[in-house]
Structure 1
Amino acid sequence: MFGGMFGGFPGGFPGGGRFEASYRCYPVSFLDKPEAERGDKVFLPPSALDRLAQLHIDYPMLFQVDNRRDGRSTHCGVLEFVADEGMVYMPYWMMENLLLQEGDVVTLRSATLPKGTFVKLQPHSSDFLDITNPRAVLETTLRSFSCLTVGDTIPINYNNKRYFIDIIEAKPNDAISVIETDCNVDFAPPLDYKEPERQPAQQPAPMAADGPGAAGTAAAVEPAQPEEPKFLAFAGAARRLDGKPASESRPIAIPLPGSGRPGGAASGPASAAGSVGSAAGGDGSAAGSAPKRPGKVFGGNRLQAKLAEKAGGSGAGGDAPPRPPPAPKKEEEEKKEDDSKFKAFSGKGYSLKG
């Protein structure tokens, strides 16, 4: 059918020890062999096998596939020679890389490719990174491939999901053979990968500008003043010397001296004048001031009451009768107490001589 394209050789194959032929391409689904979609091998007609045997082509058989209409090219291997004459069946993903439709004409020529030592791949989606061991999955997939070409996009099926990977670099050539070779694999960031955004540093609060409203702004920004510390007198627990429970004490808050804040102890001429004025108004105590309640420390209330009684007696000029002294203990009681005590060696003495 295409013999006239190659100088009239039978079957369309030129001489010179190189295989080259043109065919109409169709997907492998026409042969009802969907498993062939997982590799890069094509189906050729039996006449191609006869010609390849005469040319003594090296194994494994590799071919360069060209779409001369669009200027696209790739490489592939051969799986079987069972296609109809004049036709080639190839995986559909390969037809997409070559921009081919069903029935388009492609050219196949024999090729010799070096064994690859390095290949760099780039996934299309970040989902490929979620695979537990992507290198093992890739190694299993590439067993169905015979060669790789820079610029191709190959599919990888894993866990009922299909991933697409671009071949962006290969060594030692742009087209390499991956059959029985030790090839290092590197991965580039996926096409949809985005660098994490850096959080901007928080800016400090702007300073208040000078002006009529600056005082109000500064007052609003200034934190609240802490409460003035105060000394609490008699705040401890009360204890009596006789061991009896003491009544509850009430602490008295006394502002610390030297505080100039509002509500603290006043100091200076104004406070002195106020104290003088308060002392002048009244007979013996400051007018309008509440009497201070004595604190209860070690029975202070009873001691103060006794001192007040003594002071009242002496201040009356001897009019009040003196308080009688406490009566001494009776001698009889002392004697009874002495008799009740145990006395050692208080009995009569006896001599051994008689």
Structure 2
Amino acid sequence: MRFYAGFGYHGSNFEQTYRCYPASFFDKPHLEGGDKVIMPPSALDRLASLHIEYPMLFELHNDATQRISHCGVLEFVAEEGMIIMPYWMMQNMLLQEGDTVRVKNTTLPKGTYVKLQPHTTDFLDISNPKAILEKTLRNFSCLTTSDSIMVAYNNKQYYIDIVETKPASAVSIIETDCEVDFAPPLDYKEPEKTQQPSVPTSEATAEDEDAKVEDELKFKPFTGSGKRLDGKASKLQATEIPSASRSSPSDSNKRVNQEMVAPASSGASNSTRQKSGKLVFGSSANSNKEPQKAPVKDDEYPKKDEPKFQAFSGKSYSLKR
């Protein structure tokens, strides 16, 4: 049997150097969805004689760049001296077409924890990224810290970094329950907090004055003088009138006596003299105290309302004749 230069077996372990080529060279695009490679038939013969444990896992070395990764094997149908790899795996190891890669068999512990970091936020926009990730990882045998795996979905490729793995830097994910955590995507940016620019004191004073002017120009409801519906002066009007101009108590009593003399005419004149005005809301409208009357002219002074029914009023008669 003829072997490629550098091909050989060392001791009880499998270790071999191959030239690597991407899966697209051999019309095997299904390799891109996992981490499995295709090796030559001679590798299977040697592995069988060593009684290697299944599933078969391998450690890949790029001696030129000191990059290390891990993979599984799918088939043993490649040409001798050649290994067919997913293109994303060649990118991880900085391998070009035809470069040499050293392959060793290895055993990895079962993974218990994996932390992933998508390259772009587009991956999080998928309706169910967890289900897509679980489906993709079924085609993987192992995960290595610092590798970038590729997830294909809806004719688009998403790259995800392996940030951390436990209990080792490389773990097997075959038939194991593994906790998965996500780190923020590489292109994620925190929303910037809007900072208000500092305004000089002079400008701030000018702005305050402008604000005051605007407040004065705004419509203010329930302002101005208010009047009661019964014609009496409101408390606010009574306080605005100077105390010196108020009428004396004797004058008020005199007017009240005059009103009591002619109750009928008083009710008619009161209805004609009463003026319409605004309603008064607040404490002044609900106050129990009698508001003070403002001094007005005798002919404009609102007379006291008389009740509709007055008992025992009118002339008195004696039963004796």
TM-score w.r.t. length of structure 2 = 0.66
Tell me the equivalent position of 1:299. 268
Task: Name the CA shift for 1:197/1:23 in 2 (closer, same or farther; >3 Å).
Answer: same
Query: How many residues are paired up?
Result: 250
Tell me the equivalent position of 2:56. 61
Aligned counterparts, 1:269-284, within 5 A: none
Q: Which of residues 61, 82, 94 in structure 2 aligns to 1:87?
A: 82
Tell me the equivalent position of 2:10. 15
Aligned counterparts, 1:244-255, within 5 A: none
Q: Which of residues 102, 108, 133 in structure 2 aligns to 1:107?
A: 102
Q: Tell me, what secondary structure is at the counterpart of 2:68?
A: strand
Q: Which of residues 188, 196, 200 in structure 1 aligns to 2:183?
A: 188
Q: C-alpha separation between the residues in 2 aligned to 1:185 and 1:302?
A: 87
Q: C-alpha separation between the residues in 2 aligned to 1:168 and 1:125?
A: 15
Task: Name the CA shift for 1:206/1:4 in 2 (closer, same or farther; >3 Å).
Answer: same
Aligned counterparts, 1:186-225, within 5 A: 186-200=181-195, 222=212, 223-224=215-216
Q: Give the CA deviation at 1:13.
A: 2.4
- Structure 1, 200-209 or 133-142: larger mean CA deviation: 200-209
Q: Give the CA deviation at 1:207.
A: 8.2
Tell me the equivalent position of 2:237. 256
Q: Tell me, what secondary structure is at the counterpart of 2:216?
A: coil
Q: Which of residues 124, 128, 152 in structure 1 aligns to 2:123?
A: 128
Tell me the equivalent position of 1:285. none
Q: Which amino acid aligns with 2:216?
A: A
Q: C-alpha separation between the residues in 1 aligned to 2:68 and 2:37?
A: 15
Q: Give the CA deviation at 1:301.
A: 8.7
Tell me the equivalent position of 1:173. 168
Unmatched segments (≥5 aa) in structure 1: 6-11, 238-250, 260-264, 273-295, 309-354
Tell me the equivalent position of 1:74. 69
Contact 2:227 2:234 in 1 (8 A): yes
Q: Deviations over 1:121-149 (max 9, x none)?
A: 11111122222332222111111000100
Q: Tell me, what secondary structure is at the counterpart of 1:127?
A: helix
Q: Tell me, what secondary structure is at the counterpart of 1:230?
A: coil
Q: C-alpha separation between the residues in 2 aligned to 1:217 and 1:30?
A: 72
Q: Give the CA deviation at 1:169.
A: 0.5
Task: Name the CA shift for 1:224/1:14 in 2 (closer, same or farther; >3 Å).
Answer: same
Q: Tell me, what secondary structure is at the counterpart of 1:29?
A: helix
Contact 2:116 2:162 in 1 (8 A): yes
Q: Tell me, what secondary structure is at the counterpart of 1:298?
A: helix
The alignment-based identity, stated in percent, is 52
Task: Name the CA shift for 1:3/1:89 in 2 (closer, same or farther; >3 Å).
Answer: closer
Contact 2:3 2:80 in 1 (8 A): no
Task: Name the CA shift for 1:16/1:255 in 2 (closer, same or farther; >3 Å).
Answer: closer
Task: Name the CA shift for 1:152/1:206 in 2 (closer, same or farther; >3 Å).
Answer: same
Task: Name the CA shift for 1:35/1:297 in 2 (closer, same or farther; >3 Å).
Answer: farther
Q: C-alpha separation between the residues in 2 aligned to 1:228 and 1:3?
A: 102
Task: Name the CA shift for 1:257/1:15 in 2 (closer, same or farther; >3 Å).
Answer: same
Q: Give the CA deviation at 1:266.
A: 6.7
Tell me the equivalent position of 1:284. none
Contact 1:156 1:164 in 2 (8 A): yes
Q: Which amino acid aligns with 1:75?
A: H
Q: Deviations over 1:187-222 (max 9, x none)?
A: 11111222233344798995899xxxx9x9987564
Q: Which of residues 153, 156, 161 in structure 2 aligns to 1:158?
A: 153
TM-score w.r.t. length of structure 1 = 0.60
Q: C-alpha separation between the residues in 1 aligned to 2:51 and 2:271?
A: 131
Unmatched segments (≥5 aa) in structure 2: 247-264, 274-298, 300-321
